[in-house]
Amino acid sequence: MTEWTLLLNSTFEPLKVVPWKKAVTMVLLKKVEVVEHYDRVIRGVSFSLPLPAVIRLNRFVALRSNIFHFSRKNLYIRDRGRCQYCGRAFDPKELTYDHVIPRSYGGQTDWTNVVTCCLECNLKKGGRTPEEAGMKLIRRPRAPIWIPLLTVSLGLEETPGPWKNYLYLEGGSDRFFGE
C-alpha cells in the first residue's frame, strides 16, 4: 500500500505529507482528527479505521518558511523533467536551463525566469526572448508550491482527490503545476 496522508495544522493549513502508517498511529494516539479518508479500511485486532487521506493536528504548530532553494534538481522536479518549449521528457543530464528573459536583457536567475530546456530548443532560442525566437512556453515559470513539489518528488501523478480542498492549486487544476 503506497497511500500518503496530507497533514494539516489545526488551522487547516497544509504542513506536510506523511506515510499512511504514521497517520494511523497519530489517529490512534489521538494527536490528530481525520478530516477526509480514502475508500480503503485498515483493520487491526481491536479496531477498524478508514484509511486517513487528510488529518488535522489537534494542537497548533508554528510554521517555518517553506521556500524551496533554487537549484537544478528542484527546477527539474518543478518542470517534471520536460523541456518547457517542446514538451518532450528528458533525463536530467540532457536538460539545460534557460532564462526566459535573457540575462543580457536584465533577466534574473530565479524561479520566475528560468525553465528547463532541451539543447535543441535552447540553441534555437539563443539570447532572445521566446517571442523574438518565435517560440512559446508551455507554462509560465513560477516559484513552486511546497506541498506539490514534495508530492511530485514522491512520484504522484495527480493530486489525490481528498486533498484538493486543502491545497492551493492554481486554476483548480487536478495536476500539479498546471500540466
Higher pLDDT among residues 64 and 3, named by residue? 3
Spatial separation of the C-alpha atoms in residues 144 and 147, rounded to whole Å: 9
Average pLDDT score over residue span 44-73: 87
CB neighbour class for 137 (10 Å; exposed up to 12, middle 13-18, buried from 19)? middle
Q: Residue 85: count other Cβ atoms within 10 Å of its Cβ.
A: 22
**Count of H-run helices and E-run strands, the chain:** 5, 6
pLDDT of 130 above 90: yes
Q: Lowest mean pLDDT: which of 95-99, 161-165, 173-177?
A: 173-177
In the chain, where does the domain assigned CATH 1.10.30.50 lie? 72-133
Give the per-residue pLDDT at 36: 96
Give the per-residue pLDDT at 178: 36
Q: Lowest mean pLDDT: which of 29-38, 55-64, 73-82, 163-172?
A: 163-172
Average pLDDT, the chain: 86
pTM of the model: 0.53
- Cα of 22 vs its chain's centroid, Å: 21
pLDDT of 162 above 60: yes
Spatial separation of the C-alpha atoms in residues 136 and 131, rounded to whole Å: 7
Q: Which CATH class is domain 72-133?
A: mainly alpha
